[in-house]
Amino acid sequence: MPSSEPRGPRQIGRALVWSWKGLRAAWRHEASFRLEAYLSVILFPLGMWLGQDAIEKAMLCGSLVLVLSAELLNSAIEAVVDKASPEFHELAGRAKDMGSAAVFLLMLNVLMCWGLVLGQRIL
């Protein structure tokens, strides 16, 4: 369904403000996001330095961005579930567990990307 609001610089500006608010909320309320952000601040420049070409740099750094993105989505799922159903419900628990599993799989992806890119140089 097309939006009745025209697209343009004003809408892009609003989207940037909302995105910034989301990042600030995640930083303020989510310890996991803060930890992953700290690790990314260290590993991102390291990935840019260790990657020998654009593909390697994209693999090393992009995998970190995916973890942060999944953590934001997982936190959003948890917040909505907690708001909609503060008491335990099997489906609510399943939704939270699946969000957590998505973050975990992307963390495994980071290990795989870094291991494959850097491991070929060691072996």
Active site residues: 71
- Class of residue 106 by CB neighbours under 10 A (exposed 0-12, middle 13-18, buried 19+): buried
Torsion sign over Cα 26, 32, 36, 39: positive
Number of CB atoms found within 10 A of residue 36's CB:
23
C-alpha distances (whole Å) from 34 to each of 14, 25, 71, 88, 120 are: 24, 11, 10, 26, 31
Give the separation between CA 14 and CA 2, rounded to whole angstroms.
18
Amino acid at 7: R
